Chain A
Amino acid sequence: MRDALRHAAGPVGALALALIVSSFVMLAFHTNPIAAFGALLHGAFGSKQGSAETLVQTTALLFAGLGVAVAFRAGLFNIGAEGQLVAGGLSTAIAGAALHAPAIIEIPLCLLAGAIGGAIWGGIAGVLRARFGASEVITTIMLNYVAFLGSSYLVSGPLRGDLSAPETAPIAATAVMAPIIANTRLTAALPLAILLALYLWWWLGRTVAGYELRAVGKSERAARYAGVDPRVVIVRAMLMSGALAGLAGATEVLGLLHRFNAELSPGYGFTSIAVALLGATNPIGVIFSALFFGALQNGALAMQSLAGVPKDLISVVEGLVILFVAARKLPVGLMLARRPARIEGDS
């Protein structure tokens, strides 16, 4: 427990600093930060609909954030969650339109299709890294473009299901994930994502495969010494990472859009990088940071209409969080995370 608090101290401190600095930005715009954050909070949690919508956003961020986090643990910087999300969403939309099975079979199959689509997209970067040493940062960014433009071509041409708009044909009725709370858009995807987060937490910390993944992330040489082939682990980590991001796209399609089109993601895949960082790449931490960013994004509209603060300011908050988390070695780090290590022992 004390350990958990200690691990949480860094991200929470970064968060606090980000909020303080953005308050000053608001003051510079002659708005009252307290009123603005109050409006944001109201928008995010003030009503049943509002809360549910926050959780809807949380769900996508959680899936994708877990994906980015697992790659981080293997020492990989997966910038391509957005592209993997698109690949997963498209795969699910194709499967959902093509298959006509009872929901109990159809939905899992469609989710699987999304996971596989995302896994392939992530796996490409993994293989390029493991086989040729190509930096996954570069390849995942480029694969994002391939996914955006490729899917846009497909829904405008070969896969166009409706002549009025560039989108795929709607998925079968049995593929639709229905809301679990009436009059909201919240589906079973959220509990599924939380279960996955818990499983991933257990998997990373308690299984041999998770141990080896972390070992590769910390020291490739030590992993090799321990009989681990880092190439295998890198490909596996990118497959997992892509599959998780793909599930974000899959659940969006099955629960919200019921087809694939350009509205699939408002940039969940990019925000998920901040989610993973703020969650300190710990799956449990990612649950909380996904909720935080979900509330931020969902509350932004209310903040704009009620407090007159442009909702783009939320991007500033996001950017500041990343900045302060990444700069943990700077003043926050010194205040919160003084490490007695190295000196404690003696030689």
Chain B
Amino acid sequence: MIQSGPAAPPPALSAHGITKRFGSLVANDSVDFDVHFGEVHALIGENGAGKSTLMNVLYGVLRPDGGSIRIEGRDVSFASCSNAMRAGIGMVFQHFLLIDRFTVAENVLLGRERTRGGFTDRAAAESEVRELAARYKFGLDPAARVEALNVGARQQVELLKVLERDARIVILDEPTAALAPAETAALFDVVRRLRSEGRAVILIAHKLKEVMALADRVTVLRRGKVSGSLPIDRADAATLATLMVGKVIDLDAREPRRTAPGDVALAVRDLSVLNDDRLPAVRGVSLDVRAGEILGLAGVEGNGQTEFAEALYGLRPPSGGSVTFAERDVSRLSAEARRSAGMRYVPADRQREGLVLDFDTAENALLGDQRRTRRGMRLDLPLGQRLASAIDARYSLAGFDPAKSAVAYSGGTQQKLIVGREMTDDVRMLICVAPTRGVDIGAAATIHRRLRDVRDRGASIVLISFDLDEIRALSDRIVVFSEGRIAGEFAAESATDAQLGACMAGVSSVA
């Protein structure tokens, strides 16, 4: 099947002049895109640039208003994604489509169950999936239920779904957005393996570093149009960033502080917190954060950071220890009381926690401040509209409309909405989990600038991120979490990736 030989074979997939409109919005404006077998072609662009629209067109989810799609040189037209699947296209979505209560094998073979005598053949299914998983070095137990798996493993299940159908063209939509560094490295190996097997891989990405490391070619979308397409050896991060946003951006650069940190504002002493299963998640953590200081909290996801954040904000009662904020013991205060005291929180789960997806944008802009801003018994909706517009002005929300439900925005835009709402001028303590996850580079730069700005105004910030570059670029101090404890503390200027990585993995705790 793998094309080789002197005559240049037609691309595995090529799209010409794809145009897709939503009302007055032109999401794709005569976009050309192709990918060859044995190639990784990265597609990058800001939130709302039209990447997902293009992929949804290629995958048959959306019908284009114009343009044509060819597979190995033959014209095709997809009425639905099952047509696209049959044509050999497989897609791993950013938000996984798995059934939590089913096992790995059941999910992988969903709709193609192995049967014997009219009954599902569990043993055959599991051995088949085990074999497939082993081929890609996935440490998955086919009999495990998906609900028990972490994000990285769930993604492997999604990949297996695609590979089980032997998709020749694989689309990965921001595959690293939710992964820890080690998982990202493993995923990279898988992508390289797919390429060496002769598959065509389309990689939608936000992080330029990953694009540079993985892709053979890169195409940049900007406002629905291709702003550039070039082989990777002629690309560098600065060029790509410029193509994406029209100006030069370096996200990972540290910037000098304009102010010195003040007194200790947040004092955590021997804090212990239980997780949802009532098992210890945070075990006796003590730390201080000064006013005007960003404390970076690094660590592999699932080492108690989220529970720690929830305990700081008042969503999870501590099982021991205390939290003192502005010389006041807030350990027993509700989230509402802590918010009134100037604490704000950007949670990890933007879809279920940071927003009410069915509420409109203005209502979401008031979430958490609905009581503080009340007018008598009334909700201050005009204020919500003004706040939403202000967030749009600062972060440019793609497709912004104050009356639109939050569910209608893309993930990155939703994140901007939350970050914009939480990073107010009067915030005194900000707890931030993965603030730029899934956000485009331009908005990420805005968020970083804003974090520094809020810090310089004297706010204390606890930055929890699974992106070491982000932690290093922003933090004044770095603390590494491992198994619910502080495994090490580092000065941000001098910490190296190797030191932090070793500490995160629990290898050593040399400070």
Chain A residues at the B interface, C-beta cutoff of 8 Å: 3, 206-212, 214-215, 218-219, 221-229, 340-347
A227 and B371 form a contact (CB under 8 A):
yes
What 10 pairs between A and B have smallest CB-CB spacing? Answer: A227-B336, A345-B410, A347-B410, A226-B368, A341-B408, A346-B52, A345-B409, A347-B412, A227-B335, A222-B356
10 contacts between A and B (CB under 8 A): A208-B371, A208-B378, A214-B359, A218-B356, A218-B359, A343-B52, A343-B56, A345-B47, A346-B49, A347-B413
Chain B residues at the A interface, C-beta cutoff of 8 Å: 22, 25, 27, 47-53, 56, 61-62, 94, 173-174, 315, 334-337, 339, 345, 347, 349, 352-359, 363, 366-368, 370-371, 374, 377-379, 381, 398-399, 403, 405, 407-413, 438
A346 and B50 form a contact (CB under 8 A):
yes
Say how far B53's CB is from chain A's closest CB, in angstroms. 5
A208 and B334 form a contact (CB under 8 A):
no
Beyond A214-B359, A225-B315, whether A343 also contacts B62 by CB under 8 A is yes
B53 and A225 form a contact (CB under 8 A):
no
| Complex Cα–Cα for A3 and B403 (A) | 10
A341 and B407 form a contact (CB under 8 A):
yes
Beyond A215-B367, A222-B353, A222-B356, whether A347 also contacts B438 by CB under 8 A is yes
B410 and A346 form a contact (CB under 8 A):
yes
Instruction: Give the residues in chain A near B407, CB-CB below 8 Å.
Output: 341-342
Beyond A343-B53, A347-B94, whether A227 also contacts B368 by CB under 8 A is yes
B61 and A343 form a contact (CB under 8 A):
yes
Instruction: Give the residues in chain A near B381, CB-CB below 8 Å.
Output: 206
B353 and A221 form a contact (CB under 8 A):
yes
Given contacts A218-B356, A346-B398, 5 further A-B contacts (CB under 8 A): A225-B345, A345-B408, A346-B49, A346-B50, A346-B52
Beyond A206-B381, A208-B374, A347-B51, whether A224 also contacts B356 by CB under 8 A is no
A207 and B378 form a contact (CB under 8 A):
yes
Instruction: Give the residues in chain A near B377, CB-CB below 8 Å.
Output: 207-209
Say how far A4's CB is from chain B's closest CB, in angstroms. 13
B370 and A212 form a contact (CB under 8 A):
yes
Say how far B407's CB is from chain A's closest CB, in angstroms. 5
Chain B interface SS verdict (over half): loop
B61 and A226 form a contact (CB under 8 A):
no
Q: Tell which of A218, A226, A347 touches B370, judged by Cβ atoms closer than 8 Å.
A: A226
B398 and A345 form a contact (CB under 8 A):
yes
Instruction: Give the residues in chain A near B408, CB-CB below 8 Å.
Output: 340-342, 344-345
Q: Tell which of A210, A226, A347 touches B47, judged by Cβ atoms closer than 8 Å.
A: A347
Considering the complex, give the chain B residue whose CB is closest to the CB of A224: B315
| Complex Cα–Cα for A221 and B353 (A) | 5
| Complex Cα–Cα for A227 and B371 (A) | 9
Say how far A147's CB is from chain B's closest CB, in angstroms. 32
| Complex Cα–Cα for A228 and B412 (A) | 26
A347 and B174 form a contact (CB under 8 A):
yes
Beyond A206-B378, A224-B335, A346-B53, whether A211 also contacts B370 by CB under 8 A is yes
Instruction: Give the residues in chain A near B334, CB-CB below 8 Å.
Output: 227, 229
Instruction: Give the residues in chain B near A207, CB-CB below 8 Å.
Output: 377-379
| Complex Cα–Cα for A209 and B411 (A) | 28
Beyond A208-B378, A347-B174, whether A218 also contacts B358 by CB under 8 A is yes
B363 and A211 form a contact (CB under 8 A):
yes
Instruction: Give the residues in chain B near A223, CB-CB below 8 Å.
Output: 356
| Complex Cα–Cα for A227 and B343 (A) | 12
| Complex Cα–Cα for A274 and B506 (A) | 58
Instruction: Give the residues in chain A near B337, CB-CB below 8 Å.
Output: 227
Instruction: Give the residues in chain B near A341, CB-CB below 8 Å.
Output: 405, 407-408
Considering the complex, give the chain B residue whose CB is closest to the CB of A216: B356
Instruction: Give the residues in chain B near A209, CB-CB below 8 Å.
Output: 377
| Complex Cα–Cα for A210 and B374 (A) | 12
Say how far A163's CB is from chain B's closest CB, in angstroms. 50
Instruction: Give the residues in chain B near A212, CB-CB below 8 Å.
Output: 370
B413 and A345 form a contact (CB under 8 A):
yes
Considering the complex, give the chain A residue whose CB is closest to the CB of B380: A208
| Complex Cα–Cα for A343 and B355 (A) | 18
Say how far A235's CB is from chain B's closest CB, in angstroms. 17
Q: Tell which of A215, A225, A344 touches B359, judged by Cβ atoms closer than 8 Å.
A: A215
| Complex Cα–Cα for A214 and B367 (A) | 12
Beyond A343-B56, A344-B408, whether A219 also contacts B352 by CB under 8 A is yes
| Complex Cα–Cα for A228 and B21 (A) | 40
| Complex Cα–Cα for A44 and B357 (A) | 42
| Complex Cα–Cα for A3 and B356 (A) | 19
Considering the complex, give the chain A residue whose CB is closest to the CB of B398: A345
Considering the complex, give the chain A residue whose CB is closest to the CB of B335: A227
A221 and B411 form a contact (CB under 8 A):
no
| Complex Cα–Cα for A225 and B377 (A) | 21
Say how far A338's CB is from chain B's closest CB, in angstroms. 12
B335 and A340 form a contact (CB under 8 A):
no
Say how far A211's CB is from chain B's closest CB, in angstroms. 5
Considering the complex, give the chain B residue whose CB is closest to the CB of A210: B379
Instruction: Give the residues in chain A near B409, CB-CB below 8 Å.
Output: 345
Instruction: Give the residues in chain A near B413, CB-CB below 8 Å.
Output: 345, 347
Say how far B435's CB is from chain A's closest CB, in angstroms. 15
A222 and B355 form a contact (CB under 8 A):
yes
Considering the complex, give the chain A residue whose CB is closest to the CB of B177: A347
B410 and A208 form a contact (CB under 8 A):
no
A227 and B378 form a contact (CB under 8 A):
no
Among B174, B379, B399, B438, chain A packs the most CB atoms within 10 A around the CB of B379
A345 and B399 form a contact (CB under 8 A):
yes
Q: Tell which of A222, A224, A342, A345 touches B48, judged by Cβ atoms closer than 8 Å.
A: A345
| Complex Cα–Cα for A343 and B363 (A) | 21
A340 and B22 form a contact (CB under 8 A):
yes
Beyond A207-B379, A345-B399, whether A222 also contacts B352 by CB under 8 A is yes
Instruction: Give the residues in chain A near B359, CB-CB below 8 Å.
Output: 214-215, 218
Considering the complex, give the chain A residue whose CB is closest to the CB of B397: A345
A218 and B367 form a contact (CB under 8 A):
no
| Complex Cα–Cα for A291 and B228 (A) | 61
B358 and A225 form a contact (CB under 8 A):
no
Among A222, A227, A343, A345, chain B packs the most CB atoms within 10 A around the CB of A345
A225 and B61 form a contact (CB under 8 A):
no
| Complex Cα–Cα for A93 and B94 (A) | 60
Say how far A203's CB is from chain B's closest CB, in angstroms. 8
Considering the complex, give the chain B residue whose CB is closest to the CB of A340: B22
| Complex Cα–Cα for A228 and B315 (A) | 10
A206 and B49 form a contact (CB under 8 A):
no
Say how far A133's CB is from chain B's closest CB, in angstroms. 14
Q: Tell which of B22, B49, B335, B353 touches A344, judged by Cβ atoms closer than 8 Å.
A: B22
| Complex Cα–Cα for A224 and B339 (A) | 12
| Complex Cα–Cα for A227 and B174 (A) | 32
Considering the complex, give the chain B residue whose CB is closest to the CB of A223: B356
B410 and A227 form a contact (CB under 8 A):
no
Q: Tell which of B27, B62, B335, B411 touches A225, judged by Cβ atoms closer than 8 Å.
A: B335
Say how far B345's CB is from chain A's closest CB, in angstroms. 7
Q: Tell which of A210, A226, A344, A345 touches B367, judged by Cβ atoms closer than 8 Å.
A: A226
Instruction: Give the residues in chain A near B335, CB-CB below 8 Å.
Output: 224-227
Among B48, B94, B345, B378, chain A packs the most CB atoms within 10 A around the CB of B378
Instruction: Give the residues in chain A near B352, CB-CB below 8 Å.
Output: 219, 221-222
Considering the complex, give the chain A residue whose CB is closest to the CB of B355: A222
A219 and B356 form a contact (CB under 8 A):
yes
